[in-house]
Each structure stands twice: as structure tokens, then as C-alpha cells.
Amino acid sequence: MFLGKRKLKLLAGLSAVIILFIAILLTIHFCGPRSASVARTSVIERNDRGESAENKTPAPPLRTEPESTPKPINQAKSIPHEEISPQKEEIIFFKVDSQKKWQDTGVLVSDDRRIIIEYEKGKWSVGKTGWQSFIVDGEGYNPRQCANKKEDDIIVGALVGKIGNGHKIKVGNYYEIIESHETGNVFLRINDGDNFLFDNMGAITVKITIRSR
């Protein structure tokens, strides 16, 4: 009798477990899909056009222009110091007296120098009477004035020069020494005979430009 009651309790407990298990299965079967649908509905979002977030086409990425490299600003080309060869220039003024023979200017002629002699101011004459008293500049007398009188084949009264002990050349109001086979200092004077300088009058000033090459 005691064993029969015990078996009956075990069967009753087992039946209760089976019934509970069946109830759980039924709950999952009927309520599970609906809960999942509700959960799925809560996740879906609507965009401004009423389309679901799942079907929404992702926006294309923004197009970014590549950063352009700034163009360099034009700059003046710097020239190395050794490439710059400025022309050095020296200017002196020299007064030539009409009563003196060859007068040394102190200007040396060399291959690396260009020398320019220009009339600056002043007048002179080769005498005190007649046409000789007419005052002139470095070009000397007009041939008609002096009957074409010359000294060493150069019109009288003109400014003449020489390099060192070289030959006489007419300087006049403008003369350039670019190349010379002669060396030495530049000498200047009025073109007149040495024995006739005593009665000469006046003086002229010349501008001598020395340019180093």
C-alpha cells in the first residue's frame, strides 16, 4: 500500500513536468513569431520618403578634390657674386695749359682699360695778333682762319695727345683709346711749335673717363 502511494506521487510529478514542458512549447510556437515580428517592426526605421532603413540606398561618399600643390611664386633669380662683373669707372678732370709742352695726365693705358677724353670747358689761342688771337676749343682753328696751317699734319690749335713716347694723335673734343700697341701714360698739349708757345693764351679742361674691362 505504501509503495503504491509513492509510485502514484512520482507519476503525478512526472505528469506535471510533462504538462509544463508542453505548455512552454505551445507558448514558443504561438507567441514566438509574433514577438519577433514586433521586435523587427520596432527596429525598422522610415526615412523621409517612407522607405525602410533596410531598403535605403546608402548616400554616395562626398567627392573630395585632391589638394592642389600651390604654385611657387616667381622669384627673381639670384646671380652668384662671381658672375656679376660690374664695370668700374673712374673720372678725372685735367687742365691743359696752352703755354706748356707735353703734360702728363697720370692716366696709364693698358689692355684692360678703355679711356675716353672729352672736352669740358675753356678756350685758347696760339698768339695775340691776327687770326692767331682767335680763341678756339679742342678742335683747333678752322682751316680758312689759319690758311690751313698745320703742325705735324694736324690743324694748329687743336688738342693733341700721345701715349708714353708714342706718336702724336689728334684728340680734339672727343677721343677714345680702346686698343693701343703703345704703353705708358697719356700726355696732352696744344698743337703748336715748341718755339711759339710763349705768346699763347688760355687753357682748356678735359674730362677723362677710365673704364676697367
Q: Considering the chain, what is the average pLDDT of its residues?
A: 79
* Residues 126-143: tens digit of each pLDDT: 999 998 999 999 999 988
Which positions ≥6 away from 184 have C-beta within 8 Å? 108, 109, 163, 164, 165, 166
pLDDT of residue 4: 62
Cα 111 from Cα 212, distance rounded (Å): 9
- Which domain, by its residues, includes 139? 87-212
| 149 within a domain of the structure (yes/no) | yes
Place of cell 660690374: 86
| 1 within a domain of the structure (yes/no) | no
Choose between 20 and 53: higher pLDDT. Answer: 20
Whether 45 and 52 have beta carbons less than 8 Å apart is answered as yes
- CATH code: domain of residue 186: 2.60.120.430
Burial track 28-60 (b if 16+ CB lie within 10 A, e otherwise)? eeeeeeeeeeeeeeeeeeeeeeeeeeeeeeeee
**DSSP conformational letter for 178:** S
User: Is the per-residue pLDDT at 81 higher than 50?
Assistant: no
| 143 within a domain of the structure (yes/no) | yes
On whether both 110 and 201 belong to a single domain, the answer is: yes
pLDDT of residue 183: 87
| 117 within a domain of the structure (yes/no) | yes
* Residues 164-180: tens digit of each pLDDT: 999 999 999 999 998 87
Tell me the average pLDDT across 109-133: 93
pLDDT of residue 86: 59
pLDDT of residue 97: 98
Q: For the chain, what is the domain count? A: 2
* Residues 9-29: tens digit of each pLDDT: 777 777 777 887 787 777 776
pLDDT of residue 182: 85
User: Is the per-residue pLDDT at 72 higher than 60?
Assistant: no
On whether both 35 and 92 belong to a single domain, the answer is: no
On whether both 111 and 179 belong to a single domain, the answer is: yes
User: Is the per-residue pLDDT at 144 higher than 90?
Assistant: no
Per DSSP bridges, beta strands 201-212 and 113-125 are antiparallel
| 119 within a domain of the structure (yes/no) | yes
